[in-house]
Chains A and B, each alone.
Chain A
Amino acid sequence: MVKKTCIVLGVILSLMVMASCAKKAVREEPLVTTEEEVRGKPIEEGEEPGIEEKSLAASLERKEYPGIEGEFLESSLLKDIHFGFDRYDLTPEAREILSQNAEVLLKHPGAKFQIEGHCDERGTIEYNLALGERRANSTKEYLTSLGVSLDRISTISYGEEMPADPGHTEKAWAKNRRAHFIILSR
């Protein structure tokens, strides 16, 4: 009798779960706006590397810094990570971004890239050089822990010399405390 009740309850529960899932799926439907996005999913999972290769190539932009020898590539797939004031430890958000960056890098083992450590304008120029060095290094260490090989990575500290945002606000400073990725060769 008890057993029977349990089964009935179980069936009711699972029906409820299914119903809620179905409901959820319905609610999420409008978020899927284009066919492309649906097709994009298997590529991320690495089932069609040919297409992914293309998308990395499409994400690349040729750049150079004024006064610094040599061109390099920037990929919109390699996202910046950000740091707290006078900090070089990785936030959970930064680790998440680095995991995504690592996925991209692992798929392109030939690419040599550089991690730039940057700081906001507060603090001394020289201590910020040291801090930028540490930011680049902790970024590098995390990427190698995810399997990216060390000999592909170089690091450089720009201290406070290359702000992403030239402003003098908390918002600008938060943007400037970052590690940035450039591709030196493919």
Chain B
Amino acid sequence: MYLKLYLRVIFILICVISTFISAEVSRARVYIDIESPELQPLPIAIDQFKDTGRSQPDLARRIMDILANDLTISGFFEIIPRSEFPQESNATADPPGYQSWLMSRSEALVIGGYSSKGERLAVEFRLFDLVEKVFLGGKRYEGSAKSLRNIIHHIANEITYHITGEKGVFDTKIAFVSTMSGNKEIYTVDFDGHNLRQITDNGSINLSPAWSPNGRLIAFTSYIKRNPDLYLFDLTRSVVTQLSTDPGLNAASAWSPDGSRMALMMRRDGNTEVFIINRDGTHPRRLTKSWSSEASPTWSPNGRKIAFVSDRAGSPQIYTMDINGRNVKRLTFLGTYNASPSWSPRGDRIAYCGRLNGRFDILTINPDGTGIRRLTENSGSNESPTWSPDGRFIAFSSTRGGQSRIYIMNANGANQRRLTSTKGKESSPTWSPRMDR
């Protein structure tokens, strides 16, 4: 249902409207450098969107809530409250009276409008730089009335693009495991924690969701047949198929960046090893060969390397290797338990969890083993890091509130917040790819 709507919106976005309102787009300029450790959120004013069709005045409030929430949770923006807007009537005109904003903290302004006709909804926005006094960009979107959230997420993506130099990920999703129904089932939720969708409903133990690079499939491991087998869920058709059913583990799957293969852990000779299988589950190739346990493979974004966990040196540590299994290098040396590696989409960092003082924390490290950075501290046990497709956020599970839940933070560790508000134990988050490709 949701997916149908979603696809429809995308279709409309790509094929029909999505027109630039003005040709006078200013030069590309990065306003905030999100890589900077001292990132200061950009103060931005959002004017109430105008009901140009005069049919649904209550929508203005919802648009504002969704947009302000998106921009706030990204950590890149500070929303200027309306009480700080200048009194001049032309302050939020098109173009705005720039002079009236001189005394304001706000450095950017969003104005917009919408109209709805039955099931159809159109929303447009314009973004202005109040300091340079220029128009930065704007777009118009049309879709079904039910696609409101998605349209606003795309507006937030565009605003983020103009301010930070790269599109936002507000339309992406996070798959995770939750016991909200009593057992471990797989769910997906939007970046803002809304739009929960249950993926599996088999009453069994379901683990390790893995999103295909095109965003259409989720691989997962389930015990339905008294063996941890690998299955595939087709998000468009809501159909489950079996993928790999070797006796023993078929678990911790990770798609190759081109979607043609998957790395996973399988049993051989009494322990688990890293294997690669084709995307249809055929032709398993063994990559590691040791007397130890190997687990949790993750691909480098160029598809040439795999990071994984091995206890070959006596304790679980993270290693990298070429995808033919050669050139194995140990990456982590600090502490006696390092696991759950996740290679960043930019390729420059590997996030993982390590045990420090008896608890697990999220850390990142360069792929050559240098530059360890600790991102969580004194806040329960933190596990299973996963990167957003733009590499700017990390989702992870944490027991800081008692039960294990999914949290999101900026890639530098700032701005940690809970993702969902649902009940149950949550684990194993996996971030979707960008959905508009």
Contacts and interface: CB of A to CB of B under 8 A. Distances in A.
Given A68-B226, A156-B227, A126 B340 contact: yes
Contact of A67 (B183, B227, B383): B183
Interface string A124-140: 11110111011001100
A126 B296 contact: yes
Contact of B294 (A124, A130, A137, A141): A130
A50 interface: no
B270 A127 contact: no
A10 interface: no
Contact of B295 (A66, A70, A129, A155): A129
B247 A67 contact: no
Interface in A47-97: 66-70, 86
A156 B428 contact: no
Contacts of B270: 133-134, 137-138, 141
A101 interface: no
Contacts of A127: 293, 295-296, 309, 311, 316, 339-340
Contacts of A44: none
Contact of A155 (B248, B296, B383): B248
Contacts of B293: 127, 130-131, 133-134
Given A67-B183, A129-B228, A129-B272, A124 B296 contact: yes
A68 B272 CA distance: 22
Contacts of A125: 207-208, 383-384, 427-428
Given A67-B183, A69-B226, A130-B272, A154 B247 contact: yes
A157 interface: yes
A5 B339 CA distance: 74
User: Which among A68, A124, A156 has the greatest number of chain B C-beta atoms within 10 A?
Assistant: A124
Interface in B221-258: 223-228, 247-249, 251-252
B315 interface: yes
A134 B294 CA distance: 11
A128 B42 CA distance: 43
Given A125-B207, A129-B272, A67 B251 contact: no
Interface in B158-203: 183-184, 202-203
B39 to A, nearest CB: 30
A161 interface: yes
A161 B271 contact: no
A66 B208 contact: no
A154 B248 CA distance: 9
B251 A123 contact: no
B341 to A, nearest CB: 10
Contacts of A138: 270
A126 B265 contact: yes
A140 B296 CA distance: 25
B267 interface: yes
A175 B377 CA distance: 29
Nearest to B183: A67
Contacts of A141: 270
* Residue with the greatest number of chain B CB neighbours at <10 A, chosen from A67, A130, A141: A130
A133 B223 contact: no
Interface string A111-130: 00010000000011111011
A69 B270 CA distance: 24
Interface string B264-276: 0101001110000
B271 A130 contact: yes
A124 B272 contact: no
Contacts of B339: 123-124, 126-127
B100 interface: no
Nearest to B272: A130
B361 to A, nearest CB: 13
B319 interface: no
B271 A66 contact: no
A117 to B, nearest CB: 11
A86 B203 contact: no
B307 interface: no
15 contacts: A67-B204, A67-B223, A68-B225, A114-B226, A123-B339, A124-B309, A124-B353, A124-B360, A125-B427, A126-B296, A127-B339, A129-B252, A130-B294, A130-B309, A158-B223
Interface of A: 66-70, 86, 114, 123-127, 129-131, 133-134, 137-138, 141, 154-158, 161-162
Interface of B: 183-184, 202-205, 207-208, 223-228, 247-249, 251-252, 265, 267, 270-272, 293-296, 309, 311, 315-316, 337, 339-340, 353, 360, 383-384, 427-428
Closest 10 CB pairs of A and B: A67-B204, A130-B293, A67-B203, A137-B270, A130-B272, A124-B339, A126-B252, A130-B295, A126-B296, A127-B339
